[in-house]
Chain A
Amino acid sequence: DIQMTQSPSTLSASVGDRVTITCRASQSINSWLAWYQQKPGKAPNLLIYKASSLESGVPSRFSGSGSGTEFTLTISSLQPDDFATYYCQQYNSYCNFGQGTKVQIK
């Protein structure tokens, strides 16, 4: 099983901040990584797939990078709607999610 580890678990930030979340895989997953945003009581929403491809309709302030075992999700200028929990997901071998990163108001 491929383990996915996100850091930090919680992040406090202000509107306008640049935010970076890291996801590490226990073995190489090439670029088979996705990022999701989830708000309380709602289903996750796909933001990024194949490590750096922006899903249709997702604001361009979201970007992803990385390959192999280390990946990042960056929000260039945090907006009020972005306070949520973010998950990475590998789909190189079966499917595993990271434990989540909660982005909260500072």
Chain B
Amino acid sequence: QVQLVQSGAEVKKPGSSVRVSCKASGGTFSSYAISWVRQAPGQGLEWMGGIIPIFGTPNYAQKFQGRVTITADKSTSTAYMEVSSLRSEDTAVYYCARGKITQGPFDFWGQGALVTVSS
């Protein structure tokens, strides 16, 4: 069974960066897409971007272009998502999710990682 296990909760200062990891097991990591979706408290789902590890080139939602970096390490079956220049509005649960393409649909999800941005 496919599992995506994410890193833990983080508390960050405004202006800093955060990196969240997503380790996959039970499936073929390289040939599926890993995407990142965030959810602010009490709000809906927002797609940030994704990567297909076998190709290595990420794509991003326009809103996050330049401030988000998505990478993947095939040797450890782990994807990473880094957000820079954090602001309070970035406080959210960040999910990784698997799909055949980066846009979805997403059949397996990580448990989520809460990132809190606060001074």
Footprint of B on A, CB under 8 Å? 1, 34, 36, 38, 43-46, 49, 55, 87, 89, 91, 93-100
Can you show 19 pairs from A to B with CB atoms below 8 A apart?
A1-B62, A34-B104, A43-B97, A43-B111, A44-B95, A45-B109, A49-B105, A87-B44, A87-B45, A94-B47, A94-B59, A94-B61, A94-B103, A95-B47, A95-B102, A95-B104, A96-B47, A97-B46, A97-B47
- B44 and A98 form a contact (CB under 8 A): yes
Nearest residue (CB) in A for B62 is A1
A89 touches B44 (CB 8 A): no
- What's the Cα separation between A99 and B107 when bound, in Å? 20
Q: Is the pair B103, A44 in contact by a Cβ cutoff of 8 Å? A: no
A44 touches B107 (CB 8 A): no
List the A side residues contacting B46 at CB < 8 Å. 97
Name B residues whose Cβ lies closer than 8 Å to a Cβ of A: 35, 37, 44-47, 59, 61-62, 95, 97, 99, 101-107, 109-112
CA distance in complex: A81, B102 (Å): 30
Residues on B with C-beta less than 8 A from A98 are 44
**Chain A residues in 8 Å Cβ range of B104:** 34, 89, 91, 95
Q: Smallest Cβ distance from B72 to chain A, in angstroms? A: 18
A99 touches B105 (CB 8 A): no
CB nearest neighbor in B for A89: B104
**Complex contacts, A93 vs chain B, CB 8 Å:** 103
A38 to B102, CA, bound (A): 20
A-side contacts of B101, CB under 8 Å:
91
Tell whether, in the assembled complex, residue B105 and residue A46 are in contact, meaning their CB atoms are under 8 Å apart.
yes
Q: A1-B62, A44-B106, A95-B35 are in contact. List 20 more A-B contacts (CB 8 A).
A: A36-B106, A43-B111, A44-B45, A44-B95, A44-B97, A45-B109, A46-B105, A46-B107, A89-B104, A89-B105, A91-B103, A94-B61, A94-B103, A95-B61, A95-B103, A95-B104, A97-B37, A97-B44, A98-B44, A99-B44
